[in-house]
Amino acid sequence: MRQVFLIVFGVIFGVSVVALLFTYFQAQQERFALSADMQYRTRLLADSLNESIEPARQRNATSTLEKIATSFAGRERLLGVVIYDRQGNVIVKSKDVPEDVDVAKRIVEDAIKKDEPVGDFLVVDTMQLYVLAHPVHREEGPAGAFIVVQDASYIEESVAGQWRDSLLGVFIYILLFSVAIAALVRWVIFKPLTNLAEAIKSARAGRGRVSETQHGMFFRPLASEIGKLTHSLAQARTAASEEARMRLEKLDTPWTEERLKEFIKAYLKDRQIFVVSNREPYIHTRDGGEVAYSVPASGMVTALESVMAACGGTWIAHGSGSGDRETADQDGKIQVPPDDPKYMLKRIWLTGKEVKGYYTGFSNEALWPLCHIAHTRPAFRKEDWITYKRVNGLFAKTLLSELKGIERPLILVQDYHLALLPRMIKEARPDAQIGLFWHIPWPSAEAFSICPWRKEILDGMLGSDIIGFHTQQFCNNFIETVGKEVESLIDLEQFAITRDEHITRIKPFPISISFTDAMHEKEAEAPTRASLEALNITTEFVGLGVDRLDYTKGILERLRGVEFFLDAHPEYAHKFTFLQIAPISRGESETYQQFAQSVEKEVSRINTKFSARGGSAFGGKRNGWQPIVLQTRHFSHAELRPLYRLAHACLVTSLHDGMNLVAKEFVAARDDEAGVLILSKFTGASRDFDRGAIIVNPYSAEEVAESIHQALLMPKPEQHRRMKMMRNSIRDYNVYRWAAEFIKAVAALR
C-alpha cells in the first residue's frame, strides 16, 4: 500500500501545483480588471464633478461646494469628495471620508503640479481606497484640486472569493481524482502485481504454478512468460528430487539440499522436526522508521539454517531483536527466511533480568569458560543458576505447547544454553525422540568437576536419546565425566549410558557447512580488490582473520604472531596487511568488554610500533600503511566471500574450539584452489584438514609468524594440492550429510 500512497501523493502534488499556478494567474487577471474598471469609472465621475465644482470655485461659493460634497456622501463604494485650495488646505470634505485621508496630499500636489488628473490605490486605517485627484481652474490659473475617494476593498474581497472558490473546486477535484487514481493503482496495477509476486513465490517454493488468467490484462503477457519459466523450474526440481531419491543409499555421492529433503520424506515420513536453541536464525531490528533483518554471526546458525531450509519444521528460539515483536504474530511466530519462507520460527520473550542471569551469567560466564580451556576462570553464581533453570523451564513449556497432538515428535536441542531441557521434555513426553548437539568442546572430567551444579547438568543432558559432539575426544571426555559424577551404567562398546532405565547414546558428528558443487561453481569474473580498498588496504599481500570478539578465538595470540612476523621479516613492511574482522560478541558481559579493549589496545600498540619505525627501516615509505586493520562490525556472507577469495592466508588460531566453521567457509570460498589456511591444532576442524592446512600451536607467536611466512612463499602448485584436499573433505561431508546422520541416529532409536 505504501507504493499506492506514493503514487497518489505524487499525482496530488502535481495537480495541486498546476491548479495553484492557474488560480494565481486568474486572481491576478481579476485584480487587474477590477482595478482598471474602478479607475475608468472614477475618472468619468471626476470629469462630471469638475463641471459643477470649477464654476463654484471661481465664485468662491463655499456653500455650493459643501452641497456638492454632501450630495456624494453614503453612495455605494463612493466615500465622498474632498476639495483643496491651491496650497493643499481642505476647503470642503464629505463626512464619510476617513480622517487620515490627508495621506492623499501627495496625489493632490502631483495633480496641481502636472495640471492633470492623478490617481492611486492607498490603505487608510486598514481600508483599501482608490483616490483620484482632479485639478480645478480659475481664470488666472489653477485654483486647487478635488479628490474622489472610492472604497476599493471589494476588489480584494472578489479576489479572495475567487481563491476560495478555486481552492474548494481544486480540493473536490483532487479528492475525486485521488480516489480514482488510488482505486486504479490498487486494483488494476498493485493488486495484480502483488498476486503475481505471491504466485511466483509459491511456485518457487514448489507449491503451485503461475496462471496467466489470474493476473489482469496488463500483466497477462508477463504472467505467461513467468508461468513457462516456473514450469521449467518445477520440472528441474522434480528431476533433482528424483536424482536425490536415487542417491539416498549411495553414500559416496554428494549430499545436497534436495537429497536431504528426499531423505527426510523417506525416513521420517510426515514427522515434524523441532529445533530449539537460544539464538534465533533471523533477527529483526528497528532502525528509525524501518525494520530490517540480519543473520547473526554464529556457527550454529550457519549450519542449522541450511538444514531447516531443506527440512522445514519449527525452530524455537529467544527473540532478541528490537523489531522481533512487531514482525511476529500474537503467538510469537513468523515464517522465515523473510524473502522465501520455508519453515516456522517461534520466538520466546525473555526479560532483561532473565537474559542477564541465564545467558550472560551462567551460559557465558560459567559454562563457556568451563568447557573451553582458554585460561579464563568460570564465574559460578547461584542466582544465575536459578535463572538458568527457570529459562530452561520456559523453553520446555513453550515446546510442549507446540507438541500437543503430535505423536513421537523429533526434537533437536542445540548447545549448552539448554542443558536441562532434554530431561524436562522427556519426563513430560516419554515418546519424544530427543537429540542434543553440543556445539562447543567438552572438557576433561577433572575440569568439569569444579562446577557446583555438575550433577544436575549431566542429568538434564542424559534426558536425550542422542548426545552429539564434534569429535570422539569430546565424547570420551563426556563418558568419563558421567562415570565419575552420576550413578549410571556405561557401555563403552556401544558408547551408551543407562540412567533410570533410559539409554542415551554418545556419538561424534563433526558439523560442516552447506558446501556443494552447484553452490560453488567458479565465478565468471575473479573478485576485484574494491572490497579491500574500501577498508583502506592496498598492500600486495593480505592475511585474514574472521572471528567473534571472543577470548577463546586466540585473537591476541594471532596479533602477536603478526608482530613477530614483521619483526622477523621486515621486507614485508608496507607489503603485508592483516585484516581482522571481529564483530562484538556478548557486549553486556564485563569479561568480553575487557577483552575487546585489550584487542583494540594491542592493535593500536602494534600499528604505532611499526608506524614509528617508518622511514629508513622500511624503505622510507610513509603511505599511511597499518600492519593490522581491525573491523568490529558484522560482515555478511556476501561481504566475506570476496575477502576470503582475495586473502593470501586465513588465520584460525582458536585456543580451544568445538569445530570452527570459518576455516571451512574459507576453503569453500576458494574455488580457485589458491590461498593457505593456517589452523590451530586445538580446533575440531584440524582433524579434517590436518594434511591441507598449516597446523600451528597458537600459543607460540614464533610458530604463527613462521606459518605466515611459509604461506606467503608457498608455490601455487602446493597451494592447489592442499586446497583441493580440504575442499574434497567438506564436499564429501557437508552440513546436509551431518544433518542426515544426526537425524537418522535420533529417529532410529526405539
Question: What confidence category does residue 520 fall into, taking pLDDT thresholds of 50, 70 and 90?
Answer: very low
331-344, pLDDT tens digit by residue? 999 999 988 888 99
With respect to residue 21, please indicate whether it lies within any of the assigned structural domains: yes
Three-class secondary structure of residue 336 per DSSP: strand
Written as nine digits, the cell of 702 is: 614464533
Three-class secondary structure of residue 243 per DSSP: helix
Question: What confidence category does residue 611 fall into, taking pLDDT thresholds of 50, 70 and 90?
Answer: confident
* Stronger pLDDT, 536 or 254, i.e. the higher one: 536
Question: What confidence category does residue 229 fall into, taking pLDDT thresholds of 50, 70 and 90?
Answer: low
Mean pLDDT of the 93-104 span: 74
What pLDDT was estimated at residue 79? 80
Written as nine digits, the cell of 728 is: 574434497
Strands 78-84 and 90-93 turn out to be: antiparallel
Question: What confidence category does residue 561 fall into, taking pLDDT thresholds of 50, 70 and 90?
Answer: very high
**Domain end marker among 136, 157, 178:** 157
pLDDT of residue 463 exceeding 50: yes
What pLDDT was estimated at residue 238? 56
pLDDT of residue 567 exceeding 80: yes
With respect to residue 664, please indicate whether it lies within any of the assigned structural domains: yes
With respect to residue 173, please indicate whether it lies within any of the assigned structural domains: no
pLDDT of residue 441 exceeding 60: yes
Question: What confidence category does residue 631 fall into, taking pLDDT thresholds of 50, 70 and 90?
Answer: very high
Partnered with residue 490 across adjacent β-strands are 497
With respect to residue 126, please indicate whether it lies within any of the assigned structural domains: yes
Mean pLDDT of the 467-474 span: 96
What angle, 0 to 180 degrees and rounded to 10, lies between the N-to-C axes of helices 421-428 and 454-461? 50
What pLDDT was estimated at residue 209? 55
pLDDT of residue 529 exceeding 60: yes
pLDDT of residue 613 exceeding 90: no
With respect to residue 525, please indicate whether it lies within any of the assigned structural domains: no
What pLDDT was estimated at residue 632? 93
pLDDT of residue 325 exceeding 80: yes
What angle, 0 to 180 degrees and rounded to 10, lies between the N-to-C axes of helices 472-485 and 454-461? 120
Q: 572 and 496 in one domain?
A: no
Q: 493 and 379 in one domain?
A: yes
Q: 149 and 120 in one domain?
A: yes
140-156, pLDDT tens digit by residue? 667 788 888 888 888 88
* Stronger pLDDT, 214 or 167, i.e. the higher one: 167
Contact 658, 470 (CB under 8 A): yes
What pLDDT was estimated at residue 474? 97
pLDDT of residue 67 exceeding 90: no
With respect to residue 699, please indicate whether it lies within any of the assigned structural domains: yes
State the chain's mean pLDDT as an integer.
Answer: 85
* Stronger pLDDT, 217 or 154, i.e. the higher one: 154
Contact 130, 38 (CB under 8 A): yes
Mean pLDDT of the 701-718 span: 97
Across 57-66, 113-122, 246-255, 473-482, least confident range: 246-255
> Whose CA is closest to 627, among 612, 645, 640?
612
Type of residue found at 712: L
488-516, pLDDT tens digit by residue? 999 999 999 999 999 999 999 999 988 76
636-670, pLDDT tens digit by residue? 888 999 999 999 999 999 999 999 999 999 999 99
Q: What is the CATH number of the domain that holds 457?
A: 3.40.50.2000
Mean pLDDT of the 75-95 span: 79
Torsion angle defined by CA atoms of residues 506, 507, 512 and 514, in that order, rounded to the nearest 10 degrees: -90
Contact 433, 749 (CB under 8 A): yes
Question: What confidence category does residue 230 fall into, taking pLDDT thresholds of 50, 70 and 90?
Answer: low
Q: 59 and 153 in one domain?
A: yes
Selection from 24-38, 184-198, 473-487 with the highest mean pLDDT: 473-487
What pLDDT was estimated at residue 218? 56
With respect to residue 254, please indicate whether it lies within any of the assigned structural domains: no
For CA atoms 649, 651, 657, 661, give the dihedral sign: negative
* Stronger pLDDT, 544 or 213, i.e. the higher one: 544
- Cα distances from 448 to residues 373, 374, 392, 464, 482, in angstroms, run 11, 14, 21, 20, 10
Q: 348 and 489 in one domain?
A: yes
Q: SS3 string of 678-737?
A: EEECCCHHHHCCCCCCEEECCCCHHHHHHHHHHHHHCCHHHHHHHHHHHHHHHHHCCHHH
> Whose CA is closest to 473, among 640, 656, 241, 300?
656
pLDDT of residue 192 exceeding 80: no
Q: 275 and 238 in one domain?
A: no
Question: What confidence category does residue 595 fall into, taking pLDDT thresholds of 50, 70 and 90?
Answer: very high
What pLDDT was estimated at residue 96? 75
What pLDDT was estimated at residue 183? 75
Percent of the chain with pLDDT over 90: 49
Q: 659 and 539 in one domain?
A: yes
How far separated are the first and last CA of the chain, in Å rounded?
A: 53
Type of residue found at 68: I
Partnered with residue 727 across adjacent β-strands are none
Q: 459 and 328 in one domain?
A: yes
**Domain end marker among 140, 157, 174:** 157
Report the number of distinct structural domains present in the chain: 4
For CA atoms 397, 398, 404, 408, give the dihedral sign: negative
Q: 243 and 135 in one domain?
A: no
Q: 92 and 41 in one domain?
A: yes
Provide the CA 233 distance to its chain's centre, in angstroms: 30
* pTM of full prediction above 0.75: no
Report the alpha-carbon distance of residue 742 to residue 750 in Å, rounded.
Answer: 15
Percent of the chain with pLDDT over 70: 85
Mean pLDDT of the 254-267 span: 83
What pLDDT was estimated at residue 95? 78
Q: 584 and 466 in one domain?
A: no
Q: 390 and 305 in one domain?
A: yes
> Whose CA is closest to 643, among 666, 664, 671, 672?
666
Mean pLDDT of the 243-271 span: 72
Contact 209, 230 (CB under 8 A): yes
Question: What confidence category does residue 543 fall into, taking pLDDT thresholds of 50, 70 and 90?
Answer: very high
pLDDT of residue 171 exceeding 90: no
pLDDT of residue 518 exceeding 60: no
Question: What confidence category does residue 205 fall into, taking pLDDT thresholds of 50, 70 and 90?
Answer: low
Three-class secondary structure of residue 530 per DSSP: helix
Mean pLDDT of the 711-735 span: 94
Give the strand order in the sheet containing 649-652.
628-631, 576-581, 541-546, 649-652, 676-680, 694-696
pLDDT of residue 680 exceeding 80: yes
> Whose CA is closest to 678, among 645, 655, 644, 710?
710
- Structural domain of residue 565, as residue ranges? 530-733
Alpha helices (H) along 280-356: 299-311, 324-327, 352-354
With respect to residue 746, please indicate whether it lies within any of the assigned structural domains: no
What pLDDT was estimated at residue 563? 97
Question: What confidence category does residue 357 fall into, taking pLDDT thresholds of 50, 70 and 90?
Answer: very high
283-305, pLDDT tens digit by residue? 999 887 788 888 886 778 877 88
Question: What confidence category does residue 76 fall into, taking pLDDT thresholds of 50, 70 and 90?
Answer: low
Contact 624, 536 (CB under 8 A): yes
2-49, pLDDT tens digit by residue? 665 676 677 777 777 887 888 888 888 888 888 888 888 888 888 888
Provide the CA 569 distance to its chain's centre, in angstroms: 43
> Whose CA is closest to 660, among 427, 471, 385?
471
What pLDDT was estimated at residue 216? 52
Mean pLDDT of the 600-626 span: 74
Burial of 704 by CB count in 10 Å (0-12 exposed, 13-18 middle, 19+ buried)? Answer: buried
pLDDT of residue 517 exceeding 50: no
Report the alpha-carbon distance of residue 261 to residue 736 in Å, rounded.
Answer: 9
405-418, pLDDT tens digit by residue? 898 999 999 999 99
